[in-house]
Structure 1
Amino acid sequence: MKNSLLYCLTASSLALSFFFEHTPAAFPAFQTATPVVAEASFLAAFSGDEDKPATMPTTRDSLAYHYYSQTLGLKLAFTEDQNLLRTVTDWIGTPYSYGNNSKKGTDCSGFVTRVFKEVYGITLQRSSRSMFQNVKHVAKTEMHSGDLVFFRRGPGQPIYHVGIYLQDGKFAHSACNGGVMVSSLNQPYYHRNFYAAGRVEAN
C-alpha cells in the first residue's frame, strides 16, 4: 500500500514537471508576459532611456508640417515653431486694407502686430517705422525665423513696409497688391528695397 502511494506521488510529480516545462510551447496563450517585456525594451531602445517611453513624431505633427510646407512654400525640417507657422498660414489670403488689422483686411504693420500678439504674446508698435526703432538690428545673414524685415524705396527714404522673416530668404507680409502672402527677399522688387532686419526682444 505504502509503495503504491509513493508510486502515485512520483508519477504525479513527473507529470506536473513535464506540464510546466512544456506549457509555453503547447499553450501559446500563456505567453502573455514575454511579449510585453520585449515590447517595452524595444520602445525604450528608441529613446535611449529604458526608464522613459520613446518619443516619436506623431502623424498629426507630420501632416501639419507638410501642410505648412505646401501652403507657405517652405522646405521644413519639422523642427520649426509650429505656432508661428500655423498662425501665418491662418492669415494667408487676408485682403489688404490700410489702417486695419483683422482677417477681414489688414495692412503690413497690422498683420505683424496681430501675429506677434497671437504667437508670442508681445504687443508691438503699430507702425513699421516705430517697430524699426524698437528692435535689435541684425545682419541680413544672421536673420532667424520670427525676425522683422523692413523696406524703404531708397537712401534717405522712410520705411514703408514690414514683414516677418520665416526662412530660406522668405517672409510673410501683407502687400497692397495681394494681401497676406509669402514672398522672397530675392524677388527684384524686395531685393532692391530691403533696408534692414530687426529682432524683437521680450521685455
Structure 2
Amino acid sequence: MQLVWDNAEFLLRGARYTLQITLVSMIFGVLIGMIVALARISGIRPVRWIARFYVSVIRGTPVLVQIFFVYFGLADYGLRLGSLTAAYLALSINVGAYLSETFRGAILSVPKGQMEAAYAAGMTTWQAYRRIIFPQAARVAIAPMGNTFIGMLKETSLVSTIAVTELLRSAQLLIAQYYKYTPFYIGIAAMYWVMSTLFSIVLHAVEKRLSKAY
C-alpha cells in the first residue's frame, strides 16, 4: 500500500473530481427532477406523456449508454462536448429521471386538503406549492434522495470511459504506470466508502433536522 500513499495526492485530485461531478450533477438533477415531477402531475395530457416518456427511456437504458450517447452520439450532429461537460449533462439527465419519481411520490403524499386550504387562504398555486406542499414533500423525499446521491457518487466511475480523470480513472493511470492492481483498487474502494459514509451522515442530519421542523 506504500504505492497508494506515495500517490495519494494524485488520487485525492481524482476524488475531488468525483465529488465535483456528483454535486454538479445532483444540483442540475434536482432541478430537472422537480420540473419533470410537476409535469407528471400536470393537468395537461401531452406534457404528462412527454415527461413519462423521458422517465421511461432514461430508467430503461444503462447509464453508460447514455454517457456514450451524449459524448459520442451528439458529435455526429456537430455538437462536440468536452468530456467533463458531457459527464455533467449525461449524469444530470439520468439522475433527474430518478429524482422526478421521488419528488412526484413525495408531492402526492401530501393530503389534497392542504392545497384546498391554501386556496381558501387566498394563495396562488405557486404560493401553495412553495409554502405548503414543497416543505412537507421535502421531508418525505430526503431519504430516497440520499440513496440517489450515494448511487450517483458511485456511478461517476463510469465517466472514466470518456477520459474524465476522476477517482477510478486516476487509479487506472497509476496501474498502467506501476503494473500493480490490488493496492490501487483497495485504495479507491476505501475512498469511495469514506465519501459515501460522509454523505450518509450529512443526509441523516438533514433528515433529522427536517423531522424536528415539522
The answer to which structure has the higher strand fraction is 1
Give the TM bin, normalised by the shorter chain: under 0.3
The one of the two structures with greater contact order (alpha-carbon pairs below 8 A, sep at least 6) is: 2
TM-score (norm 1): 0.21
